[in-house]
Structure 1
């Protein structure tokens, strides 16, 4: 199983997403807008890593006369600022795809890139808009020139996942300073070999089950007419369901279906069926009968979390 898990982890690591990035028309000195920047970008990586090359590409098109720096850049999709600390694959799963949730992502008064994406959910490349002005302070934490903010967000998420898995933070705290540096460098450089070597020291061996599985469930909801809202739900999910809870004679394996049934029974009334909604992970439907610990071992994001997006059926 260990070899199979590593193969799956590497295949997920190598997953990429074609992006078409357009400079905001409000910031472009060319009337008919600048040429877009096209790139195939790792699903597990983070959009701010693109900012230095994007600034170089779009610098001659910017209206702004004052100096502009990469860390001032931010991205939007159909007028909605994209959280930079979410991996790009998670962002894509959240903001695209069929279903009623697709209709909530148009924010009134922010139509700078809406014409590029109208009725484009699920169509590739994913079209994003790049901004260097008017940072959305209410939605996004500011970046810094040294990437310290990004580093701290990522490492704090790794620490939280480690605590959920083990019931203690000893594994991440035991990492040497050099291994901590290498872990972050593997994210910056998107190096699977470096990442796997360090990350494997954080995971309990196969004979030692997780205390709980780091699982976050993302529910796109309409919180009002003006702006969309993403509700993030998480709870404690042990690999085995105690007999007192399962109602059986012994412990029952915790699956994706049983976890979702306990967390959001209105969308998953049956732990084995997806009649109302479907769980999506890395752009693919997750089998309801998949043991949640096995999925956590081989299909977690780089910070150790299973980020499952719920897509409600039409």
Structure 2
């Protein structure tokens, strides 16, 4: 992939967003009728935790107990608490039930129209906001100063850097100004602030990339090894060392990586037979280079967070 193509794709990923319609849970609402919903177009690669102060301010006049703090806020979809450290786009790909988009060369005009109609049915994504009964066993509780959300993000950035370089020193040696700029870029969703720091992380001086940060998210039913009763929305999260190249020195592709990590779901390196890999709402071609995807389409923390969707 050329540098220009990588840059264009990175910008497209950055600009991706989802319309959200967030309604107050009836158990927290002091009026008989529902309160007005909070409507927002929110970046796919960002984190819902950055909305807690706005949601608290918007719904505070409608709450039964108005003295609750912003840190008491949590969001759910159809009864499933939504994890703060998962980007919005990943949450949507995992839980919304919307059909992913297909590469242009693999979808017919009828599939495209069906996909458009499917999207209309699932958008805006309707979420529920709660201010009581915090699900502590399923969610980390945030604080009013965004310190915990910042720590969750930074730890994920460090882990991605450690996999890429084998040391994690690129993140550790960032200046305080660069570290602050990275978090401000995330909070403000500012590409001009984010890109210079991200390029430093992806292109460490004098270091070759060793492994690629890839996480796979499987619905509970896709895992034969998990026999116990599943809670709603439960997932199996899988990651493994993904070298940049194969032993044959050929570039690692999505197909070769998935075949190595999940051979029962991806028995073929070239064709999706049982499951598909979905990133940013689109089915990934198995021939795509993992390193090129990291450079062009990784989430803000440097990871490829890939939803595994069963076919049929």
TM-score, normalisation: structure 2: 0.87
Take 1:81 and 1:121, find their aligned partners in 2: how far apart are those partners?
A: 24
Check 1:226–1:143 CA distance in 2 against 1; reply closer, same or farther (3 A cut): closer
Note if contact 2:98-2:119 (Cα within 8 Å) is conserved in structure 1.
Answer: no
| Residue 237 (1) aligns with residue 242 (2) | yes
Check 1:224–1:153 CA distance in 2 against 1; reply closer, same or farther (3 A cut): same
Take 2:8 and 2:22, find their aligned partners in 1: how far apart are those partners?
A: 31
**Structure 1 segment 75-114 matched on structure 2, within 5 A:** 75-97=75-97
Matched residue count: 287
Take 1:72 and 1:213, find their aligned partners in 2: how far apart are those partners?
A: 36
Secondary structure in 2 matching 1:212: coil
- Cα offsets for 1:176-231 (capped at 9, x unmatched): 00110000000010001100011111112799652011000010114525533111
- Cα offsets for 1:140-169 (capped at 9, x unmatched): 111111111111110111011001011111
**Structure 1 segment 163-174 matched on structure 2, within 5 A:** 163-174=162-173
Take 2:202 and 2:266, find their aligned partners in 1: how far apart are those partners?
A: 29
Secondary structure in 2 matching 1:201: helix
Which residue matches 2:71?
Answer: 71
Give the CA deviation at 1:11. 1.1
| Residue 218 (1) aligns with residue 223 (2) | no
Which residue matches 1:252?
Answer: 250
Which residue matches 2:186?
Answer: 187
Give the CA deviation at 1:32. 2.4
Which residue matches 1:46?
Answer: 47
Give the CA deviation at 1:266. 1.1
Take 1:49 and 1:208, find their aligned partners in 2: how far apart are those partners?
A: 34
Take 1:161 and 1:181, find their aligned partners in 2: how far apart are those partners?
A: 18
**Structure 1 segment 1-314 matched on structure 2, within 5 A:** 1-65=2-66, 67-97=67-97, 123-204=122-203, 209-222=208-221, 224=229, 226-243=231-248, 251-314=249-312
Note if contact 2:170-2:204 (Cα within 8 Å) is conserved in structure 1.
Answer: no
Structure 1 stretches lacking a partner, 5+ long: 100-118, 244-250
- Cα offsets for 1:52-98 (capped at 9, x unmatched): 12122211111114x12212100001111110111111110110225
Note if contact 1:97-1:121 (Cα within 8 Å) is conserved in structure 2.
Answer: no
Give the CA deviation at 1:252. 2.4
- What RMSD in Å do the two structures reach over aligned CA positions? 2.0
